[in-house]
Structure 1
């Protein structure tokens, strides 16, 4: 163990320190519910003598460690805290983080860890380099009930056809829509599986016909897309595109990027897409007369639909019900009916929806001396009884055991819209093999600059095509002299 790393051993029979640190009412409820589940029966984990060695990079793991130890009095856990590099340049930080993971997984002079909590940015890199053990066999265990896992989690954590990690909770993206606005316009409400083109047609009809306060089709809300550029690039990712090919060649001027950029720029011109709060504040140049909130366009009926994460959905539930939220004395609760639907899919028909973020990626070290101990922990953390306990604590995350996400008070809400489709891979913070980091950063900067210029005017498909061709030409010219 290197200097700066932290090791903590929780031996069987002596967990007073750790339990004091989590002495909270909600956590007590978790313990009661999990212990009740254990007492009720069910298959015991295939425990093995000796400590479970865990490598972690933060403290989100601690909650599950305590649950496991209380439910398994014979067990013990040895935790090593990965020494994180200083946060300077993002690419340098992640590269250093990857190197430290590599060293720690080998044991770094001591026994290698069994269970590894992996940073999402390095997860696919570790998997592709053979440093993580595939979990495919776990998915084939009938008693594990893999069919009850959220499809978006399994597909989102699958790397090159194999699953290497699981998460007990996650965040995902969907669309909420104003059912009354669609009804007023005489337009069929949106449904799961609709393509971007289908969404465009329906939002255009709603904007044209709905009347009343409605001005826009879709609002970006408080979701993962701060700007129109972010949404456009996610559409490129949905179509399988990126900044570079697998062999390191620039792919800035892609047909998928031309289509996504030209289409969404038209959405903005035609008011099928509302400006984001970030863009509104940037345009103001100073504080607006009234506070701006990301949900304003949807809540006031100015937008027919809005991009949401599950966290945003929970806020909406409270805002519409009037519970647990204070928004001022002048607040008028929205009166329209609404529901949630899946994120738009690419026009080629693939079942690729919105972004996905695992809260805690649990993996098994390929060099572990006792992988069965890590697998036992995974079976427990992904069990029905832990999911039920988490549901009872009213957390604002989605549970991988999807049945635990449903509640009587939410009857009628189409929650499966959040987890039914596969996610597109989010842009990697790493340059591909053979691409220098400065070239990667330059490519991103050139694209943002070009999109900003196009957004300032009535840019059609031809202007977009010319801009992207010029961007790729500039990147190649910039790279060539220095041999980048």
Structure 2
């Protein structure tokens, strides 16, 4: 397999999209310089490339390939089963990928397979005509293991991708800290008021010794997911923006009054990452995506400085919902519109987004898009290898309703920027919650929201 790196694009004037799916490269040691190619020989599907056929090379666009353990394993496995297809991975840095791929595809780069970090950039690529429809290809393809998440990858009735990964937002908590404080563990279906009180109880100490009851990361989704979880808020529908008010009231109360979460401004200016504060037992609870399972199993071990038992529960909400819904981002995978080898591209796409690829990433604690019984079994066996992990993690993988955090829309990126700016203004107390939401409604309508 060959790996080739490309120089980073200058992207001045282009706003990067910040998504929870950025956690997709959570296993990465750090961002690579934009652009690499990994060529691996994967096999031509036996229906397309016979044993004696000339090898075909497909180009696959990805981020952080060099720093993510499961990508090379997955490509190598594909190559082994498809010996007449070579895979050339074009690698970019995670931080710039969302904008870089839009620029690259706008220049009609001949990527055969395109991975995307989320649906806003997928929407932009579809709007530009840069992705091939897959509707005909999935005819007869078993879509049940995707649990409905694949429906979010269609626009105007046309399917443009398969889910490589899906995530579920949840509350992770440090059992040892709760035991030490003599406080009952968080429960599924908590109200926001109960969550706030629990965080207050778990806050202790001062200065460098302070332990915060919870941690609210800086993404807008770390507030709006609570409302999205019960299908209230939708960033494409401005009539739902008012639903965010009680959630902002709770989170600001925790920040400004209770001091049970760290200040948003301090997190931004200090570039404080959510992972370290939980690893180091500086917070008792953390609301983040299910990709954190992989991070915990890799970083909270008997060999690490801090080793503790951890658990997880569903998001607090006003309806007492538990496992009825799952809310999070999707990591889509598509065939590029300018692909020179679309048949081989489909072979790779259906492999990595199917059971074979799903097993590779599930064995590392990452939730795949394809979630058949074999994947559920893998997650339920995690405590056998990591005794500090909770039992029954599979219950977070297959709720009956999958709610994607950011539905596809041609104007998704512009609307998402409005939400990000509203969130920053409210969390820094620059505007009142009412004024922040009112301004966001006006600006989102101008950006194309209804």
With the length of structure 2 as denominator, give the TM-score of the two structures: 0.60
Matches within 5 A, 1:173-184: 173-179=169-175, 181=178
Bigger Rg, which one:
1
Compared with structure 1, are the counterparts of its residues 370 and 418 closer, same or farther at alpha carbon in structure 2 (3 Å cutoff)? same
SS at match of 1:413: coil
Kindly indicate whether residue 405 of structure 2 is the aligned counterpart of residue 425 of structure 1. yes
Deviation at 1:378, TM superposition (A): 3.3
Asked if the contact 2:330/2:404 (under 8 Å) is kept, the reply is no
CA–CA separation in structure 1 for the residues paired with 2:38 and 2:354: 21
SS at match of 2:429: helix
Deviation at 1:82, TM superposition (A): 10
CA–CA separation in structure 2 for the residues paired with 1:440 and 1:388: 32
Kindly indicate whether residue 314 of structure 2 is the aligned counterpart of residue 342 of structure 1. yes
Determine the structure 1 residue equivalent to 2:68: none
Compared with structure 1, are the counterparts of its residues 310 and 445 closer, same or farther at alpha carbon in structure 2 (3 Å cutoff)? closer
CA–CA separation in structure 2 for the residues paired with 1:370 and 1:200: 51
Matches within 5 A, 1:14-53: 45-48=46-49, 52=56
Determine the structure 2 residue equivalent to 1:453: 429
Kindly indicate whether residue 162 of structure 2 is the aligned counterpart of residue 190 of structure 1. no
Deviation at 1:305, TM superposition (A): 2.1
SS at match of 2:214: strand
Kindly indicate whether residue 72 of structure 2 is the aligned counterpart of residue 71 of structure 1. no
Deviation at 1:391, TM superposition (A): 6.1
Question: Could you list the per-position Cα deviations for residues 15-41 of structure 1 after superposition, in whole angstroms to 9, with x for gaps in the alignment?
Answer: xxxxxx989xxx9xxx9xx99xxxxxx
Question: Could you list the per-position Cα deviations for residues 284-319 of structure 1 after superposition, in whole angstroms to 9, with x for gaps in the alignment?
Answer: xxx9xxx9985546864x754222445543454466
Compared with structure 1, are the counterparts of its residues 452 and 374 closer, same or farther at alpha carbon in structure 2 (3 Å cutoff)? same
Asked if the contact 1:45/1:376 (under 8 Å) is kept, the reply is no
Determine the structure 2 residue equivalent to 1:232: 223
Which consecutive residues of structure 2, in runs of 5 or more, have no partner in the other structure?
A: 8-36, 66-70
Asked if the contact 2:169/2:287 (under 8 Å) is kept, the reply is yes
CA–CA separation in structure 2 for the residues paired with 1:211 and 1:367: 54
Asked if the contact 1:57/1:117 (under 8 Å) is kept, the reply is yes
Asked if the contact 1:136/1:162 (under 8 Å) is kept, the reply is no
Determine the structure 1 residue equivalent to 2:345: 374
Compared with structure 1, are the counterparts of its residues 48 and 234 closer, same or farther at alpha carbon in structure 2 (3 Å cutoff)? same
Deviation at 1:452, TM superposition (A): 1.9
Determine the structure 2 residue equivalent to 1:415: 393
Deviation at 1:215, TM superposition (A): 6.9
Which consecutive residues of structure 1, in runs of 5 or more, have no partner in the other structure?
A: 7-20, 36-43, 106-112, 246-250, 456-462, 480-484
Query: Cα RMSD (Å) of the superposition?
Result: 5.4
Deviation at 1:67, TM superposition (A): 3.2
Asked if the contact 1:204/1:272 (under 8 Å) is kept, the reply is no
Asked if the contact 1:46/1:376 (under 8 Å) is kept, the reply is no
Kindly indicate whether residue 106 of structure 2 is the aligned counterpart of residue 99 of structure 1. yes
Asked if the contact 2:264/2:428 (under 8 Å) is kept, the reply is no
With the length of structure 1 as denominator, give the TM-score of the two structures: 0.57
Determine the structure 2 residue equivalent to 1:39: none
Question: Could you list the per-position Cα deviations for residues 334-386 of structure 1 after superposition, in whole angstroms to 9, with x for gaps in the alignment?
Answer: 4xx5312234467596955443352xx43235687875433333343345455
Matches within 5 A, 1:63-462: 64-73=74-83, 75-77=84-86, 96-100=103-107, 103-104=108-109, 115-118=113-116, 120=118, 121-127=120-126, 131-134=131-134, 138=138, 140-141=140-141, 146-149=143-146, 151=147, 154=150, 157-159=153-155, 163-169=159-165, 173-179=169-175, 181=178, 189-191=186-188, 194=189, 198-207=190-199, 217-220=213-216, 225-226=217-218, 231-235=222-226, 239-242=232-235, 251=238, 254-269=241-256, 271=258, 273-275=260-262, 279=266, 282=269, 295-296=276-277, 300=281, 303-310=283-290, 312-317=292-297, 321-323=301-303, 325=304, 327=305, 333-334=307-308, 337-344=309-316, 347=319, 353-356=326-329, 358=331, 361-365=332-336, 371-388=342-359, 395=364, 397-400=366-369, 401=371, 402-403=375-376, 404-405=378-379, 406-407=381-382, 408-410=384-386, 412-416=390-394, 419-420=397-398, 422-426=402-406, 431=411, 445=421, 448-453=424-429
CA–CA separation in structure 2 for the residues paired with 1:206 and 1:447: 24
CA–CA separation in structure 2 for the residues paired with 1:469 and 1:96: 32
Question: Could you list the per-position Cα deviations for residues 428-455 of structure 1 after superposition, in whole angstroms to 9, with x for gaps in the alignment?
Answer: 898569xxx7x98678546633542258
Query: How many residues get paired?
Result: 379
